[in-house]
Structure 1
Amino acid sequence: MWIPRHGGSLFIALAFIAITPATAASPLPGEPRIAIIIDDLGYSHARGLRAIHLPGPVTLAVLPFTPHGPALAQQAAARGQDVILHQPMQSLSNHHHDPGTLTAEMPYAAFRRTLGLALDAIPQAIGVSNHTGSLLTAQAQPMSWLMNEVGTRGMFFIDSRTTAATVALDTAIAAGVPSVRRDVFLDNVIEEVAIAESFERGIAIARRNGHAGLPSKWTERRDGLLGVGLVEYRHHAGIGTDRNEPFGQRRRGGYAGDGQRKRCKSADVRCMIPPVV
């Protein structure tokens, strides 16, 4: 079995929210917030459980068709943590290591069937993000097919921005799909000091823009620091941590915390960013 290059480790993606013209032009009112997504889950059950039991609200991005993905998604939902589908997509390296990878060569019927099976494999998912995809996310036609399915299912999309040439976010906006992007990428130094500095930088961005974050690679020997960071920064830095989706799906009338799939009918960013609880 192929193991991801991160060794199935926890990958923390506190993704800076890009406020696009289709959403809002100024920061949202209220307490600054940081959103945390844990990517690449499904290959290791033990590491997935550690992510689920972190002392704070996080969102689990689960790869479809992995040995432990379905069970982890179910357990996360049972604990009230939100789950998104981390959909594999073709990269420029053209290595289709993950089962269910969407490729540029797929005709529409095969693309839709593969995506549908992936979504059905993780029924707890309330949104979709791309895993790899530096080739596919730069192509308008498959992104249009993707957003059509995501929108039809009432889900949101997170552009992981694995390439500067991505058209995924623009395609989502054009299709009326609630969407945000990862804007800052800081996972090259896996050390305690570097992770702490990443939190501090995220706090500074959140205070300036209202809602912010940063990504950081995670390994087994460092997973305790995230838990400490969640507690410390939440209670002492005046920064809240989002729950119920990484960038939320707040709807009129509130949202349920039961981990079941929720629906977001508006492309307004306020539909996507929940209050901190």
Structure 2
Amino acid sequence: MRCRQLWGTLLALTIGGATTPAAAVPLISIVIDDLGDSWAEGQAAIALPGAVACAFLPESPHTRRLAELAHAARKEILVHLPLEPVAGRAHPLALSAQLATPQRSDWLGEMLAAVPYATGVNNHQGSLATSNRGAMHWLMRELSLRSTAFFIDSMTSTDSVAYPLARAYGIPATRRRVFLDHQRGEAETHAQFQRLVRIAKETGGALAIGHPYPETLKALAQLLPQLDGLGVALVEPSVLIRRVERQPPPLPMPLRMATTLSPAPEPALSAGAMP
């Protein structure tokens, strides 16, 4: 009798354990862009608690020293790669469609080498470039050949093809879902952070981009210690990609390579997109 009771108890526990798995915690990632121009803003961004990633502009005056500090603080580091916008003033180092192919490759190598410890890439501006299939075929092929660990499409244009083409070339990738400070202000950052949490709970994970504005950094310093109560976990972008995004298809793939980097017709920016 005791054997049968014990067997029944073990069977009940086994069945119960199999039918009630622990729910996965929704994940969020945050990238602070445009670092390197200001020493004080860079230090404040690096000092944010948790796995906030840091994206540095190549060749900015403080990029190398701040990237070294971020690495020492165990932050994930990205190259914030300047690409050509539809309108407005382009970054001085932005990729130009006028460059010949060898010059473009040299340019990219210099940009990637300018940020120590960088493992990922996301675009700075680039609303024109990221919507140009030829430009993105070239860029993603180059990044894949250079063993880039991951790519984040900053989604500065709703017409961007950067994310699907990164995946087509075998680069783990994701897209920005929320801008924390498209309009500056602590209240705006709080509101967008809550939106980030909502999207993560709906989809399993979401990434936000912010900038080293004092208002943004102050709001994040208040919000990040509250994550346990909000029911989400902050992780590095590479971890978010690995856990939430489907794995990109393996290379080689039969992709038709673009032979030129001719500009596409300029797409109109829609609400929520940035140049």
**Fold match (TM-score > 0.5):** yes
Write the distance in 1 (CA, Å) between the matches of 2:109 and 2:73: 25
Write the distance in 2 (CA, Å) between the matches of 1:141 and 1:237: 42
Count the aligned residue pairs.
223
C-alpha change, 1:139 and 1:218, in structure 2 (3 Å) is: same
Write the distance in 2 (CA, Å) between the matches of 1:89 and 1:168: 12
Write the distance in 2 (CA, Å) between the matches of 1:216 and 1:75: 19
Alpha-carbon offset, residue 191 of structure 1:
3.0
C-alpha change, 1:248 and 1:49, in structure 2 (3 Å) is: farther
Question: Are positions 1:108 and 2:101 aligned together?
Answer: yes
Secondary structure of 2:33's counterpart equals strand
C-alpha change, 1:136 and 1:221, in structure 2 (3 Å) is: closer
- What residue number does 2:147 align with? 154
C-alpha change, 1:245 and 1:69, in structure 2 (3 Å) is: farther
Alpha-carbon offset, residue 247 of structure 1:
3.4
Alpha-carbon offset, residue 171 of structure 1:
1.6
Question: Are positions 1:145 and 2:126 aligned together?
Answer: no
Q: Which has the higher helix share?
A: 2
Write the distance in 2 (CA, Å) between the matches of 1:246 and 1:131: 22
C-alpha change, 1:223 and 1:152, in structure 2 (3 Å) is: same
Instruction: Write the letter of the residue equivalent to 1:152.
Output: L
Instruction: Write the letter of the residue equivalent to 1:130.
Output: N
Equivalent residues of 2:30, 2:237 under 8 A apart: no
Question: Are positions 1:239 and 2:232 aligned together?
Answer: yes
What is the 5 A alignment of 1:9-48?
Answer: 30-48=24-42
C-alpha change, 1:184 and 1:222, in structure 2 (3 Å) is: closer
Residue-by-residue CA offset, 1:8-47 (whole Å, 9 max, x unaligned):
xxxxxxxxxxxxxxxxxxxxx7211110000000100111
- What residue number does 1:124 align with? 117
Equivalent residues of 2:177, 2:206 under 8 A apart: no
User: Whose radius of gyration is greater, 1 or 2?
Assistant: 2
Note the residue ranges of structure 2 that are not aligned, 5 or more in a row: 1-22, 250-275
Instruction: Write the letter of the residue equivalent to 2:127.
Output: S
Secondary structure of 1:231's counterpart equals helix
Q: 191, 211, 220: which is aligned to 2:205? A: 211
- Higher mean C-alpha deviation, range 170-179 or range 209-218: 209-218
Alpha-carbon offset, residue 221 of structure 1:
4.2
Equivalent residues of 1:136, 1:142 under 8 A apart: yes
C-alpha change, 1:148 and 1:163, in structure 2 (3 Å) is: same
TM-score with structure 1 setting the length: 0.74
Equivalent residues of 2:130, 2:136 under 8 A apart: yes
C-alpha change, 1:45 and 1:116, in structure 2 (3 Å) is: same
Secondary structure of 2:184's counterpart equals coil
C-alpha change, 1:154 and 1:53, in structure 2 (3 Å) is: same
- What residue number does 1:65 align with? 59
Secondary structure of 2:157's counterpart equals coil
- What residue number does 2:248 align with? 267
TM-score with structure 2 setting the length: 0.74
Note the residue ranges of structure 1 that are not aligned, 5 or more in a row: 1-28, 251-265, 269-277
Instruction: Write the letter of the residue equivalent to 1:199.
Output: F
Alpha-carbon offset, residue 181 of structure 1:
1.1
Write the distance in 2 (CA, Å) between the matches of 1:181 and 1:32: 16
Instruction: Write the letter of the residue equivalent to 1:267.
Output: P
Instruction: Write the letter of the residue equivalent to 1:76.
Output: A
Write the distance in 2 (CA, Å) between the matches of 1:244 and 1:140: 25
Equivalent residues of 1:188, 1:217 under 8 A apart: no
When the two chains are superposed, the root-mean-square deviation of aligned CA atoms in Å is: 2.2
Question: Are positions 1:199 and 2:193 aligned together?
Answer: yes
C-alpha change, 1:154 and 1:134, in structure 2 (3 Å) is: same
